[in-house]
Amino acid sequence: MRPALVVFSLSGALALTACQSNTSKPSRGHSALDVMERVAVGANTCWIKSGDGDFKGYAMAPELDSYSGRPRILLVRKNSSDIRPHLVVQAEGNPARLDAFGPMMDQPVRTRIARDVDRWSRGDKGC
């Protein structure tokens, strides 16, 4: 089974189907690292530390210091020897373009992930 690819634009448009891409650009001055720092804080606060039921079995692994120019966060299963990520959210470029992919994007929680990541990437700090 091929994981769905979701591309987020910071201008609010979301592509929620596989093989579709939207590369519209966010407002000026928001680098990939800036955007992913905001997304990482939101995901850690609202998904992981809060004990949210949709994310309870997952741990977050931020990889913001990326030499590839694609800072990202990974969600992996807690207490599992399988270290493959179930969700990858990464950004690239300036202005940043966000991608989210992995097995979680084939589940009903994908809509929530898309909404949350889009909000956090624009600077909203709420859960």
Q: Model confidence over 36-56: pLDDT tens digits?
A: 999 999 999 999 999 999 999
Classify residue 98: in a domain, yes or no. Answer: yes
Any domain includes 127? no
Position 16 confidence tier, pLDDT thresholds 50, 70, 90: very low
Domain that residue 85 falls in: 5-121
The length of the chain is 127
Q: Which is it for the CA torsion 98, 70, 38, 103, positive or negative? A: positive
Report the distance separating Cα 77 and Cα 59, nearest Å: 6
Residue 126 belongs to a domain: no
Position 81 scores a pLDDT of 87
User: Is 61 among the domain residues?
Assistant: yes
Q: Total domain count for the chain?
A: 1
8 vs 76 pLDDT, higher one: 76
pLDDT computed for residue 68 by the predictor: 82
Q: Residue 30: what pLDDT?
A: 83
* Residues 99/110, Cβ–Cβ less than 8 Å: no
Do the domain assignments include residue 88?
yes
Total Cβ atoms within 10 A of residue 41: 13
Residue 34 lies in a domain: yes
The answer to the question of residue 43 being in a domain is yes
Judge whether 99 lies within some domain. Answer: yes
